[in-house]
Amino acid sequence: MAESGSDKSGGRGVPDGLKEAIEGAFAATGRTRAQAQDLTEKTRGRAQELVDEVTKRSSDARGTLEGLRLVSRDELRRLEERIDDISSRMAELERKSKSQPEG
């Protein structure tokens, strides 16, 4: 039986077509691996950008929330009382200024 391909070792030879197919498969695998690595690096970079953006926005939001100070019921009640007091005093002053003759 004749072998296709050249095998100088004297053993069973691998046909040239099969060698080319195997080499082509390895080359395609190498290209696919390179593409996958490139895509992985791009994805990793974009994911890091998103993480950085979320971190920045959460920090900004935390700073904003810390800047807000909620008023307790007691504080609100005291403010309402002061407003009522000031309103009464202003009304009294307005009454007095209207009752005094202009000079």
Q: Where are the domains of the chain?
A: 14-69, 70-103
Average pLDDT, the chain: 85
pLDDT tens readout for residues 11-27: 577 788 888 888 888 88
Helices (H) and strands (E) in the chain, counts: 2, 0
CA gap 97, 103 in Å, rounded: 12
What residues contact residue 71 under an 8 Å CB cut-off, 6+ apart? 79
What residues contact residue 13 under an 8 Å CB cut-off, 6+ apart? 3, 4, 5, 6, 7
pLDDT tens readout for residues 63-75: 888 878 788 999 9
CA gap 65, 62 in Å, rounded: 5
Predicted confidence (pLDDT) at residue 86 exceeds the cutoff of 80: yes
Its pTM stands at: 0.41
